[in-house]
Amino acid sequence: MRVILHAHAPHWQLGSDSGVVAADARCGVHGFGVWQHALPAGKTTTTLQHTGELVLVAPGAGSGKVWVDGGPMRFVAPCTLLLPAGQIFTVTNTGTLPLLLLWVFTQPPAAVGTQEPAPARHGPK
């Protein structure tokens, strides 16, 4: 059993997006990773693509759009979004409060046009 305090967890940064690394190989989890991200109201993530499986969980309240295949797919939290491997996408917060997203993946997403996944930085933001 291990408790990871998010105040002391590494953070990820990808384009203008950042959040907490809730679990990955550095804390003994192999085979998948978990990020936490609070997307500000009215903001859109960097354009992303991933090579593995990706699940986005919106556990709280709020609403948004996932732009896939050139068009939007609207959602209202709480919900789970399943994105197939290779998908290019962005997420837009259409609500008035930050939209909490939990990213659960087998391979971290990368900004389109790069081959590098989000680098983690250590310590609080």
Encode pLDDT of 12-21 as tens digits.
888 788 888 9
Q: How many CB atoms lie within 10 A of CB 106?
A: 14
Encode pLDDT of 61-111 as tens digits.
999 999 987 789 999 999 999 998 898 999 999 999 999 999 999 988 888
**CA gap 37, 2 in Å, rounded:** 21
Encode pLDDT of 2-60 as tens digits.
888 888 888 888 878 888 899 988 888 899 999 999 999 999 999 999 889 999 999 99
In which residue are the tokens 């085979």 written? Answer: 31
Q: What is the pTM of this model?
A: 0.82
Question: Would you call 63 exposed, middle or buried from its count of C-beta atoms within 10 A (0-12, 13-18, 19+)?
Answer: middle
